[in-house]
Amino acid sequence: MNVYETEKLLSEYLLFHYATAAEILPENYGGEEALHYPVRCVTECVNALALPLGARGLDLGCAVGRSTFELARLCSSVIGIDFSHRFVGAAERIRRDGMMPYERLDEGALTTPLTACLPDGVDRGRISFEQGDAMNLRSDLGAFDIVVMANLIDRLHAPLQCLQRLPMLVKPGGQLVITSPCTWLEEYTPRPHWLGGFERDGTRFTTLDGIKAELLQDFDLVDTKDLPFLLREHARKYQLSVAQASIWRRKS
Ligand SMILES: C[S@@+](CC[C@H](N)C(=O)[O-])C[C@H]1O[C@@H](n2cnc3c(N)ncnc32)[C@H](O)[C@@H]1O
């Protein structure tokens, strides 16, 4: 059973990607700095000035599509890819119709109807969504000027397989943004496939150490930053996480 195909996760992610501050935090008990994460993954991590004219973008693990739409402000064409048919269907519906109604869970069986809207000023003609597997992408995807992978790696069965494709996926001089809360769970990633979060030869080996070990041959590490994000489950239950973003430049 893929949780990302369920109605529950669909509405939680539509809320996470498209809700206003008032729709997520109606009681205003704090946490505002952790809102709009899929927007911040682009605005705080992508160097817009370094992108060429006619840039191509890829949002890998795009879920219901918000970062893909934000990338379309900076790129002439953007592809959003996710394994979940349901998520990709919702992203495509928002692209095509400009909106999608959904229910926010409040308590028990009580819900509130909301609408996920295409962000203002986004040219939907630049965007396409497709279902795909980040560990086994189609061979004719081509190369991109910017690749964003937000909160994806610790949800993959074999994250290394995904990282190994990146030198081919990012153009020389192109940008790569990887964010992760490093929440390694055996239900998604068997322990031998974790990129980090364990001791190796008596020293702590982090997820960033694991990403560096794979990428440093082909990429320069430009920056790292902490990005808090808030997932709302229902009116009285939220999950506050802090993702680690690493920002890379493909060697020329
Ligand atoms: C934690 S969510 C993050 C989604 C989104 N990037 C965000 O930051 O809100 C993980 C996403 O990865 C997707 N995913 C899981 N396995 C995948 C795979 N093998 N290939 C592509 N996407 C995958 C899930 O469907 C889900 O949308």
**pLDDT at site 28:** 76
Atom of ligand 1 nearest to the CA of 135: 19
Which tens digits make up the pLDDT trace of 163-197? 999 999 999 999 999 999 999 999 999 999 999 99
Smallest CA separation from ligand 1 atom 25, residue: 84
Atom of ligand 1 nearest to the CA of 149: 6
Query: Residue 230 C-alpha to ligand 1 middle, in angstroms?
Result: 16
**pLDDT at site 26:** 84
The whole-model pTM stands at 0.98
Name residues of the chain where pLDDT drops below 70: none
Atom of ligand 1 nearest to the CA of 17: 9
**pLDDT at site 1:** 86
User: Ligand 1 pocket, 156 CB below 6 A?
Assistant: yes
Which tens digits make up the pLDDT trace of 52-70? 999 999 999 999 999 999 9
Q: Own/partner pairs for 138-144, CB < 8 Å, 24+ apart?
A: 141/58, 141/79, 141/169, 142/56, 143/56, 143/168, 143/169, 143/170, 143/171, 143/174, 144/56, 144/57, 144/58, 144/169, 144/170, 144/171, 144/174
User: Ligand 1 pocket, 133 CB below 6 A?
Assistant: yes
